[in-house]
Amino acid sequence: MGAHPLLPAPMRPPLVQISLLFSLLISVLIIGGCGQTPSPRTIYPTPAALVQANSALEAGNIERARSIFASWESPEKAASVRGMARIGLGRCALASGQIEAAIRHLDMARKLLGPGTQLARAHLYLGEALLRSGSTNSGLNQLEKAYPSLLDADNRRRAAYLITRTLDQLGEAVPALYRNAAGNASFPEYTSIWLRDVTPGTTVVETAPTGVPRVTVRNAPKRIQVHKRSSWRASPPRTRRVVPMTRPSRITVHHTADQPAIASLGIRNPEQYLRRIQDYCTGSLNWGDIGYHYLISADGRIWEGRSIQYQGAHAGNNSLNRGNIGIALIGNFDREHPTSSQVESLGSLLGALAAVHEIRPSRIYGHKDLRDTGCPGKHLQSILARLVDRLNRSGQTRRTR
Ligand SMILES: [Zn+2]
């Protein structure tokens, strides 16, 4: 997974103004009642099959949704219907992590649809896909185009949230329009967009393409990389046995303290180790998925465990797991010390998660802070205290600057 350079922000045209002007112009045309032709803001009727496909998608039945959308994306259908089907195909691709395919479908949808709320949906999902691919500025442009024409309140909040969080992470000013519309919404399913890209705190000088002046981005982002579930060939979660995550408000750190046989696998081959743990959780324990949201192997690699859109199973019971992000370092830290790469990765991950979810350092716990257990081991517990302390101090520096 390559890290993508962020383009310098001033190159982005003020599309908000342009699209606002454009929609003003359209409303003037409609109010003026120019001729008998239907207004350009057509509300397309959505075929019942597509409504069904959307419900299947919401329920996590991606393959069923995909096959319905695909059957409606054929040349004999009207352009508007094909456009809606392409939006569906794009969302299915997004849901299964196929970002390039999502961009292709959604770009096609955009070309098939006339102005209106369906086109705005195409912009919204295309914006998300572009952010996920690392094309930050193009993604922001799509979201700004989407925002004024989205009718659905949840979708408007999503667009505003994506814009606000992304600009925050870039250290750029956020227009009040978006910040207000985002309110205190929380969409944990977007977390990985910013985790792969950014943690605040370092100064980076970006080299722009030739002919464009170099731009210095202050407080911009040190990149951290999270290895997605697909990298260890995770099985899909059993969606009936997981519950959606509520707003993340705390983080709990664990050690895995495995049996000797599996402990050595964790060092030798983390991918295979993760599959074994997932099999154990979903098989013997009958859970919906692996319990932790992130795991860190001895070589310092950070692995995506349970998707953060689902509540974890790590702290001990439902009320302890609520809004609680679970991170496990692979090893037994009553007996040994975590490696320096593990400690470094834990520090970066905690900093990034705390920034993205606005979690105060005082809400970062070792498992034993929450219940009677030796987890995460005496050596890791004392290191964690130092990391939290450091986060506290860097937060104070930022505020007083
Ligand atoms: Zn624990």
- Taking only the tens place, the pLDDT of each residue in 128-185 is 999 988 888 889 989 999 999 998 999 999 999 999 988 888 778 888 899 999 998 8
Report CA(314)–ligand 1 centroid distance (Å).
Answer: 6
**Mean per-residue pLDDT over the chain, rounded:** 83
Residues forming CATH 3.40.80.10 domain(s) in the chain: 227-400
SS3 label, residue 217:
strand
Distance 304 CA to ligand 1 centre (A): 17
346 — pLDDT class (breaks 50, 70, 90): very high
CA of 127 to the centre of ligand 1 (A): 37
Q: Ligand 1 centroid to 201 CA: how many Å?
A: 29
- How many angstroms is it from 95 CA to the middle of ligand 1? 30
Q: DSSP letters of 70-115?
A: HHH-STTS-HHHHHHHHHHHHHHHHHTT-HHHHHHHHHHHHHHPPS
> For position 170, what pLDDT does the model report?
79
Q: How far is the CA of 228 from the centre of ligand 1 (A)?
A: 22
How far is the C-alpha of 201 from the C-alpha of 351, rounded, in Å? 9
* Start-end of CATH 1.25.40.10 domains in the chain: 9-195
- DSSP 8-state class, residue 392: H
Amino acid 154: pLDDT: 92
Measured in Å, residue 278 CA sits from the centre of ligand 1 at 16
Which of the four CATH numbers 1.25.60.10, 3.40.50.360, 3.40.1190.20, 3.40.80.10 does domain 227-400 have?
A: 3.40.80.10
**43 vs 194, which has greater pLDDT?**
194
- pLDDT, one tens digit per residue, over 59-112 is 888 888 998 899 888 888 888 889 999 999 999 998 888 898 999 899 999 989
What is the rounded distance in angstroms from the CA atom of residue 166 to the CA atom of residue 140? Answer: 8
204 pLDDT more than 50: no
* Structure-token match 């009677």, residue found: 372
pLDDT tens for each residue of 183-193: 988 888 898 88
Is 1.25.40.10 the CATH number for 9-195?
yes
Over residues 276-283, the mean pLDDT reads 96
Sign of CA dihedral 289, 87, 90, 195: negative
